[in-house]
Amino acid sequence: MLEKVKNTILKYDMLSPSDSVLVGLSGGADSVALLVCLNELGYNVSAMHINHNLRGEESDRDERFCVELCKKFGISLTVKSLDVKEYCQANKMGIEEGARELRYKAFSAAQTDKICTAHTLSDNVETMLINLIRGTALKGLCGVPGKRGNIVRPLIECTREEVEAFLSERNIGYVTDSTNDSNDYTRNKIRHLVVPKLVEISKEQNGSIYQNISKTLNSIKLDEDYLSIEAESLLKKAQTDENVFDLKMIFSMHEAVLNRVLVMLLKRYEVEVSAAKLEDFKRACKDGRKINLKKNVYSSVKSGKLIITGEKEKPKVYLKEVSFENTEKVSEDFLGRNVEIRLIDYDNKMANIHNMFTKKEIDYDKIKGKIFLRNRISGDKIRLPERGLTKSLKKLFNENIPLEERYKVAVLSDDDGVIYVEGFGADERVSSDENTKRILKVEIS
């Protein structure tokens, strides 16, 4: 399995040798195997365990296991304790959805180059079957991508059986979530009742369901990527002015591309996408009718042009000066999250002990003038040390942050511009080096 993971990393260009790598560690077989595997392959690995506090003592048992496991391998571990139930009640969402959202927010707030999650080929097969049963477009049949922005999944071509065999060979234990045994959840029903039957049928045909579905997933993804690229190109050509599009050009394309263009438009204006919303939008375009897409956003047709009017909801603006004149720690409530900024005397030897001390840290003595905690503003740019180029935050966020979440990303700036961006780290101008004496450590929860 080690060789397979190495080849998957190369195939998808997931990791480079210099990357700091954070593994989402639940304590289950998949995440334990991922952590051990990346550690054996020599990556600069750390781990984060999220205690969702949903299973009482069992949740605490999982946390203790992860602490002991990381101690055994000498791997840095961060533990986050989250009140998922309260979050889901406050935001009116299901437990599974809320837990996932909180989990990825915690991962994104970590100062690391890459975030590794332990999705396997078995998970991908289950996801594909679930989406197929529920009804989905081509994208839903692609399963979980091996790489999306800075989130990577090195086990995406390994089966659950391979994972368990890998751990058994090394005599490494793991914990089991008791809810995995229940058939109350759709995924568990697929895992326990459907997949074993398909494996049995596949063996009768002298084939492997996992290998065959893996080939199918790769083929579907190629088709989806091509159609999406075509749709993006068409939308760019069809835009004649701000909020104005050539309707004839849009509707001249095959319906598969047309649907993607219309979905892209809905997402651009932060309209919640559904099959019904897409059909209404398409029909209104054909009929030349004006419709309300969402609050204060309308689409209409005039002289062969699709015109989208109305204002997007303006995101909240946050701006506050941060001063260390009489303190070494500042805590601020940033749009519902706590941002803690600490001024630490930097011991260069610590770089060899703790993964957190990297070029992502801010050298306090390189800062010019006042420090401000804020969200992104137009024209913001950052030069990340590991990328070797200056990039606008707009383009940087396009890679992996949903449009509606971008105003929530914490930014630190000084008199010369951006010095730090949550999830990406320090600007090269102020990043720590061998001469650093004091650093700013930013933690967001």
The enclosing H or E element of 373 equals: strand 371-374
Which residue, 88, 395, 139, 401, is CA-closest to 273?
A: 139
Which residue, 287, 302, 240, is CA-closest to 279?
A: 287
Half-sphere exposure (Cβ direction) of 339: Cα atoms closer than 13 Å: 26
Which residue, 149, 214, 210, 165, is CA-closest to 409?
A: 149
pLDDT tens series, the chain, 445 aa: 999 999 999 998 999 988 999 999 999 999 999 999 999 999 999 999 999 888 889 889 999 999 999 999 999 999 988 888 888 888 888 888 888 888 888 888 887 889 999 999 998 888 889 888 888 888 888 888 888 888 999 999 999 999 999 999 999 999 988 777 767 678 888 888 888 888 888 887 777 888 888 888 889 989 999 999 999 999 999 999 888 999 999 999 899 999 999 999 998 888 888 888 999 999 999 999 999 998 888 999 999 999 998 755 566 788 898 888 878 888 888 888 889 898 888 765 444 433 433 446 799 999 999 999 999 988 899 988 777 778 888 888 877 777 667 888 999 999 889 999 998 889 999 988 888 889 888 888 7
Residues pairing with 362 in the sheet: 431, 440
Q: In 3-state terms, what secondary structure has residue 76?
A: coil
pTM: 0.64
Domains of the chain, start order: 2-204 (3.40.50.620), 228-309 (1.20.59.20), 319-444 (3.50.40.10)
Q: Got the DSSP string for 198-251?
A: HHHHHHHTT--HHHHHHHHHHHHHHHHHHHHHHHHHHHHHHEEETTEEEHHHHT
CA 420 to chain centre: 19
Structure-token pair, residue 356: 């957190």
